[in-house]
Copies of this chain bind each other. A is one copy, B any other.
Amino acid sequence: MATRGVSVTNKLREAVLGGDYAGGTRLNEVDLADALAVSRTPIRAALSTLAAEGLLEYRPNSGYAVKTFAAKDIEGIYVVRANLEGLCARLVAQQGLSDVHRGLLHKVLAESEELQTVESWTDEVSDLWRDLNDRFHNTLIEASGNSHLAMMLRKSRAIPLLNQLKFRWFDMGTLARAHDDHSQIFAAITGGQVVRAESLAEEHVYRSGQRIIEHWRKMDTRKPAAGTKARAA
């Protein structure tokens, strides 16, 4: 078993990414210590780690707060992410896929294909697709063999609150399009079409980013009172 510090860090990270705390929420050390049944020490370790990861904001003598993201921030993040995913696809197309990775991607695409047959977009389908989507992108990242790129992309994908939003608003048409994008990217990669792989991947991410920003904006304006210092119950 890992140390308390590590497991608290993971728990807290999940909570923040999962949207358990509103943006701007201040995280009180003793409350967290109570809630997780540990002392303040591992809590502090976790908080400083998450702050360095960019999920929290730190102000000396004042503590940690969940970082807030405006729609404009999300836009900036997605521009970067699109570029990096494009780079990733290009690298993979250049150096070719290993049998293992090709197998994994093939499996993901087959399961995605199967998912097309469902009737309507339920939460269950949403979860399934999220898993497939993650597996597709993660496999590509792994196949690039570039650990720094992997780290950057991980950071670009870890945005508080986003997880609870992502894919909930999907419909079958959007799913079909996303699945088609994945297929095309895969085809371009296996076909050694380097430039095309890059463009497709970049465009794929960019488009899904546009959609997310749209919905983020709605969510943002729905509770503008938050402003600079939102507070949770």
Listed in ascending order, the chain A residues whose CB lies under 8 Å from chain B are 2-3, 5-6, 44-45, 48-54, 60-61, 73, 76-77, 79-80, 83-84, 87, 91, 145-149, 151-152, 155-156
Q: Within the assembled complex, what's the spacing in Å between the Cα atoms of A156 and B44?
A: 27
Q: A52-B53, A60-B2, A80-B87 are in contact. Are A152 and B156 (CB under 8 A)?
A: yes
Partner of A146, one of B45, B60, B76: B76
Q: Within the assembled complex, what's the spacing in Å between the Cα atoms of A151 and B151?
A: 12
Residues of B within 8 A of A83 (CB): 83-84, 87
Q: Distance in Å from the Cβ of A73 to the closest Cβ of chain B?
A: 7
B60 touches A147 (CB 8 A): no
Q: Distance in Å from the Cβ of A52 to the closest Cβ of chain B?
A: 3
Select from chain B the residue with minimum beta-carbon distance to A3.
Answer: B60
Give the top 10 A-B pairs by smallest Cβ distance, nearest first: A52-B52, A76-B146, A49-B52, A77-B148, A83-B87, A3-B60, A76-B148, A48-B49, A45-B48, A80-B149
